[in-house]
Structure 1
Protein backbone atom coordinates (compact mmCIF):
# COMPACT_ATOMS: atom_id res chain seq x y z
CA UNK A 1 0.00 0.00 0.00
CA UNK A 2 1.35 3.44 -0.94
CA UNK A 3 -0.17 5.27 2.03
CA UNK A 4 -0.86 4.81 5.72
CA UNK A 5 -3.22 6.82 7.89
CA UNK A 6 -2.57 6.97 11.61
CA UNK A 7 -5.13 9.14 13.38
CA UNK A 8 -4.99 12.58 11.81
CA UNK A 9 -1.67 12.10 9.99
CA UNK A 10 -0.92 10.33 6.73
CA UNK A 11 2.26 8.82 5.34
CA UNK A 12 2.59 8.75 1.58
CA UNK A 13 5.24 6.70 -0.26
CA UNK A 14 6.43 8.61 -3.32
CA UNK A 15 8.63 7.72 -6.28
CA UNK A 16 10.09 11.11 -7.24
CA UNK A 17 11.19 11.85 -10.79
CA UNK A 18 13.11 15.14 -10.79
CA UNK A 19 13.87 17.21 -13.88
CA UNK A 20 10.34 17.23 -15.34
CA UNK A 21 8.92 20.19 -17.25
CA UNK A 22 6.23 20.62 -14.58
CA UNK A 23 5.34 19.08 -11.23
CA UNK A 24 2.47 16.60 -11.49
CA UNK A 25 1.12 13.28 -10.31
CA UNK A 26 2.04 10.50 -12.73
CA UNK A 27 -0.08 7.64 -11.39
CA UNK A 28 0.91 4.65 -9.32
CA UNK A 29 4.39 3.16 -9.23
CA UNK A 30 3.55 -0.47 -8.69
CA UNK A 31 1.39 -1.08 -5.63
CA UNK A 32 3.62 0.60 -3.08
CA UNK A 33 4.24 4.18 -4.28
CA UNK A 34 2.75 7.16 -6.12
CA UNK A 35 4.91 8.56 -8.91
CA UNK A 36 5.34 12.33 -8.94
CA UNK A 37 7.24 14.25 -11.61
CA UNK A 38 9.12 17.18 -10.07
CA UNK A 39 9.93 20.42 -11.93
CA UNK A 40 13.33 20.83 -10.29
CA UNK A 41 16.71 19.16 -10.54
CA UNK A 42 17.94 16.81 -7.83
CA UNK A 43 20.64 19.28 -6.80
CA UNK A 44 21.16 20.62 -3.27
CA UNK A 45 17.65 19.69 -2.13
CA UNK A 46 15.84 21.65 -4.86
CA UNK A 47 13.69 18.68 -5.89
CA UNK A 48 12.71 17.99 -2.26
CA UNK A 49 11.70 21.64 -1.77
CA UNK A 50 9.62 21.55 -4.96
CA UNK A 51 8.03 18.25 -3.88
CA UNK A 52 6.98 19.74 -0.53
CA UNK A 53 5.62 22.84 -2.30
CA UNK A 54 3.69 20.67 -4.79
CA UNK A 55 2.16 18.48 -2.07
CA UNK A 56 1.30 21.55 -0.01
CA UNK A 57 -0.73 22.99 -2.88
CA UNK A 58 -2.22 19.66 -3.99
CA UNK A 59 -3.51 18.66 -0.54
CA UNK A 60 -3.97 22.14 1.04
CA UNK A 61 -1.45 21.45 3.80
CA UNK A 62 0.96 24.08 5.17
CA UNK A 63 4.53 23.39 4.02
CA UNK A 64 5.65 23.46 7.65
CA UNK A 65 3.38 20.46 8.38
CA UNK A 66 4.99 18.22 5.72
CA UNK A 67 8.04 16.28 6.83
CA UNK A 68 10.18 13.47 5.49
CA UNK A 69 9.68 10.22 7.40
CA UNK A 70 12.36 8.51 5.27
CA UNK A 71 14.18 8.64 1.95
CA UNK A 72 15.18 12.30 1.89
CA UNK A 73 18.17 11.46 -0.34
CA UNK A 74 16.49 8.59 -2.19
CA UNK A 75 14.14 8.57 -5.18
CA UNK A 76 11.58 6.65 -3.09
CA UNK A 77 10.50 8.83 -0.18
CA UNK A 78 7.93 8.69 2.60
CA UNK A 79 6.38 12.00 3.56
CA UNK A 80 4.13 12.60 6.54
CA UNK A 81 1.45 15.30 6.78
CA UNK A 82 -2.03 15.96 8.23
CA UNK A 83 -4.96 14.23 6.54
CA UNK A 84 -7.07 16.75 4.63
CA UNK A 85 -10.24 16.54 2.59
CA UNK A 86 -8.18 17.03 -0.59
CA UNK A 87 -5.95 14.09 0.34
CA UNK A 88 -9.01 11.89 0.90
CA UNK A 89 -10.40 12.91 -2.52
CA UNK A 90 -7.01 12.06 -4.06
CA UNK A 91 -7.13 8.59 -2.50
CA UNK A 92 -10.66 7.99 -3.76
CA UNK A 93 -9.68 8.99 -7.31
CA UNK A 94 -6.40 7.09 -7.50
CA UNK A 95 -8.00 3.85 -6.24
CA UNK A 96 -10.34 3.74 -9.25
Structure 2
Protein backbone atom coordinates (compact mmCIF):
# COMPACT_ATOMS: atom_id res chain seq x y z
CA UNK A 1 0.00 0.00 0.00
CA UNK A 2 2.65 2.49 -1.09
CA UNK A 3 0.01 5.08 -2.05
CA UNK A 4 -1.12 5.71 1.54
CA UNK A 5 0.32 8.55 3.65
CA UNK A 6 1.17 6.03 6.37
CA UNK A 7 1.29 2.29 7.04
CA UNK A 8 2.15 -0.06 9.87
CA UNK A 9 4.88 -2.73 9.84
CA UNK A 10 4.23 -4.61 13.04
CA UNK A 11 4.42 -1.95 15.77
CA UNK A 12 6.46 0.45 13.59
CA UNK A 13 4.69 3.34 11.86
CA UNK A 14 5.98 4.37 8.41
CA UNK A 15 5.05 7.93 7.37
CA UNK A 16 5.26 9.36 3.85
CA UNK A 17 5.73 13.11 4.29
CA UNK A 18 5.86 16.26 2.19
CA UNK A 19 7.88 18.73 4.29
CA UNK A 20 7.66 22.51 3.97
CA UNK A 21 10.65 24.20 5.65
CA UNK A 22 10.73 27.82 6.87
CA UNK A 23 7.05 27.77 7.89
CA UNK A 24 5.59 29.95 10.63
CA UNK A 25 5.17 26.97 12.99
CA UNK A 26 5.75 23.22 13.31
CA UNK A 27 2.53 21.37 12.46
CA UNK A 28 0.82 18.74 10.37
CA UNK A 29 -1.12 20.48 7.60
CA UNK A 30 -3.32 17.83 6.00
CA UNK A 31 -2.67 15.51 3.09
CA UNK A 32 -0.73 16.40 -0.07
CA UNK A 33 -1.46 13.70 -2.66
CA UNK A 34 -0.26 10.45 -1.08
CA UNK A 35 1.78 12.18 1.64
CA UNK A 36 1.10 13.91 4.92
CA UNK A 37 2.05 17.58 4.66
CA UNK A 38 4.24 18.78 7.52
CA UNK A 39 5.34 22.37 8.09
CA UNK A 40 8.60 23.07 9.93
CA UNK A 41 10.09 26.38 11.07
CA UNK A 42 13.68 25.25 10.47
CA UNK A 43 15.46 26.19 7.24
CA UNK A 44 16.68 23.45 4.87
CA UNK A 45 20.33 24.25 5.60
CA UNK A 46 23.00 21.87 6.96
CA UNK A 47 20.42 19.28 8.05
CA UNK A 48 18.53 21.70 10.34
CA UNK A 49 15.14 20.81 8.85
CA UNK A 50 15.82 17.06 9.14
CA UNK A 51 16.86 17.45 12.79
CA UNK A 52 13.75 19.54 13.49
CA UNK A 53 11.62 16.92 11.74
CA UNK A 54 12.93 14.10 13.94
CA UNK A 55 12.48 16.21 17.13
CA UNK A 56 8.94 17.20 16.15
CA UNK A 57 7.89 13.63 15.33
CA UNK A 58 9.46 12.24 18.53
CA UNK A 59 7.49 14.74 20.61
CA UNK A 60 4.25 14.27 18.68
CA UNK A 61 4.33 10.47 18.91
CA UNK A 62 5.70 10.29 22.48
CA UNK A 63 8.95 8.46 21.73
CA UNK A 64 12.67 9.13 22.11
CA UNK A 65 14.46 10.67 19.11
CA UNK A 66 16.38 7.41 18.72
CA UNK A 67 13.07 5.67 17.83
CA UNK A 68 12.52 7.99 14.82
CA UNK A 69 14.51 7.26 11.64
CA UNK A 70 14.67 9.06 8.31
CA UNK A 71 14.44 6.26 5.72
CA UNK A 72 14.30 8.28 2.48
CA UNK A 73 14.59 11.89 1.42
CA UNK A 74 17.54 13.35 3.31
CA UNK A 75 18.01 16.05 0.65
CA UNK A 76 14.45 16.56 -0.61
CA UNK A 77 11.05 17.61 0.63
CA UNK A 78 9.47 14.18 0.04
CA UNK A 79 10.52 12.01 2.98
CA UNK A 80 9.79 8.61 4.47
CA UNK A 81 10.17 8.22 8.23
CA UNK A 82 9.78 5.26 10.60
CA UNK A 83 8.64 5.58 14.22
CA UNK A 84 9.18 2.50 16.39
CA UNK A 85 6.34 1.73 18.81
CA UNK A 86 4.69 5.18 19.01
CA UNK A 87 3.00 5.79 22.37
CA UNK A 88 0.72 8.62 21.19
CA UNK A 89 -1.12 8.90 17.88
CA UNK A 90 -2.57 12.05 16.31
CA UNK A 91 -6.30 11.73 15.50
CA UNK A 92 -5.63 11.20 11.78
CA UNK A 93 -3.49 8.06 12.38
CA UNK A 94 -5.37 4.80 13.05
CA UNK A 95 -3.79 2.24 15.39
CA UNK A 96 -2.52 -1.02 13.87
The alignment's TM-score, normalised by the length of structure 1, stands at 0.87
Structure 1: gaps spanning 5 or more residues? none
Q: Partners of 1:76 and 1:83 in 2: how far apart?
A: 23
Structure 2: gaps spanning 5 or more residues? none
Q: 2:93 aligns to what SS in structure 1?
A: helix
Q: Which has the larger helix fraction? A: 1
The alignment's TM-score, normalised by the length of structure 2, stands at 0.87
Residue 83 (str. 1) matches residue 85 (str. 2) = yes
Residue 29 (str. 1) matches residue 32 (str. 2) = yes
Q: Partners of 1:62 and 1:89 in 2: how far apart?
A: 20
**Matched residue count:** 91
Q: Partners of 2:25 and 2:90 in 1: how far apart?
A: 23
Please give the root-mean-square deviation of Cα atoms over the aligned residues, in Å: 1.4
